[in-house]
A = this chain, B = another copy of it.
Amino acid sequence: MSQLLISEVAPRDGLQSIASVMPTADKCRWIQALAEAGLKEIEVASFVPARLLPQMADAREVVQFARGIAGLQVAALAPNIKGAQAAFEAGVHKLTLPVSVSEAHSLANVRKTHAQAIEEVRQVVALRNARYPAVAIEAGMSTAFGCTISGAIGDDQVMRLAHAVAECGVDEIGLSDTSGYANPAQIRRLFRRLQQEFGGKAGGAHLHNTMGLGLANVVAALDVGVTTFDSSQGGIGGCPYAPGASGNIVTEDLVFMLEAMGYDTGIDLDKLLAARQILANALPGEALYGHTAAAGLPKNFRQAASA
């Protein structure tokens, strides 16, 4: 079966929502272990002011370390032009720019209207084009499937903003279930439309597990041809500005499901579970999620793919 890309976001999305600050040396060891387990893209940091997110104060150092890992696509998030500038300077291969479909969430999260958010994207793309042409930019459409503040989000609303963002010149448009409210029917509908309207610019799925539907939504996304999935080791993360929204889909469970289904993720589950242990040791007392780690891998489970 076709190969998929799993983009690990725990060092960014996970660590930014955990109060304690993980020491830089631990982060680097952990990222190294994740890469050794076979993860080919890792979002390693967020470029935001250290006074807002002290967990990300070492973003530059972490990016520079990660760039030394052969074959790894090093991604980072930036909420604005200032963060993007710092990320480019640090040497990211890929930049993620979140843009909230819910304007209420955008105002709460980054204090920007849609017009202001789009203007920021335009500036970031202009800077990239002028000075860092090798860096890929993906816009992540946050709250695309529902918002804790505004409730349900219309498909048309998502697509309208996505088109405005695409016109700024980003390389990819991904859809993020920031609230974890997406359902499989909605996932199929919206990703199908994304592919129809954006072709090669249609990006991946960033899914949360708030309502327990994370992996069900992955199955729905696979059905309509999505091949890139964000996930988080131990399921850590969730948007700190969206109350009640917690828990990315768990990388270990995602990889188990995909491998059991016969997909080739290129990831070694035993090494992935070993990397999880580094995370657990570095953040004692923090809750890690995931069924695979708790239940263990079923005996000869790969046989179920072709039984």
Contacts and interface: CB of A to CB of B under 8 A. Distances in A.
Interface of A: 145-146, 148, 150-155, 179-186, 209-213, 215-216, 218-220, 223, 244, 250, 253, 256-257, 260-262, 290-292, 295-296, 298-305, 307
Contacts of A210: 291, 295
B304 A186 contact: yes
Contact of A211 (B213, B219, B253): B253
Contact of A307 (B150, B180, B186, B261): B186
A209 to B, nearest CB: 7
Contacts of A180: 295
Contacts of A301: 146, 151-152, 181
A145 B218 CA distance: 20
22 contacts: A145-B304, A146-B301, A151-B299, A151-B303, A152-B298, A152-B303, A152-B304, A153-B307, A179-B298, A182-B304, A183-B261, A184-B257, A184-B261, A185-B260, A186-B304, A210-B295, A211-B292, A212-B257, A213-B215, A213-B253, A219-B220, A223-B223
Contacts of A181: 260, 298, 301, 304
A256 B261 CA distance: 25
A28 to B, nearest CB: 29
B215 A305 contact: no
Contact of A212 (B152, B155, B291, B298): B291
B295 A183 contact: no
A305 B183 contact: yes
A116 to B, nearest CB: 25
A129 B26 CA distance: 68
Of A212, A290, A296, A298, chain B has the most CB atoms within 10 Å of the CB of A212
Given A181-B298, A184-B261, 8 more contacts: A146-B304, A151-B299, A154-B307, A180-B295, A211-B253, A211-B295, A211-B298, A213-B291
Contacts of A184: 219, 257, 261
B291 A209 contact: yes
A185 to B, nearest CB: 4
A238 to B, nearest CB: 11
Contacts of A179: 298
Q: State the 9 A-B residue pairs at the shortest beta-carbon distance, nearest first.
A: A212-B291, A151-B299, A152-B303, A183-B260, A185-B261, A215-B216, A151-B300, A181-B298, A216-B216
B216 A307 contact: no
A305 B182 CA distance: 10
A189 to B, nearest CB: 8
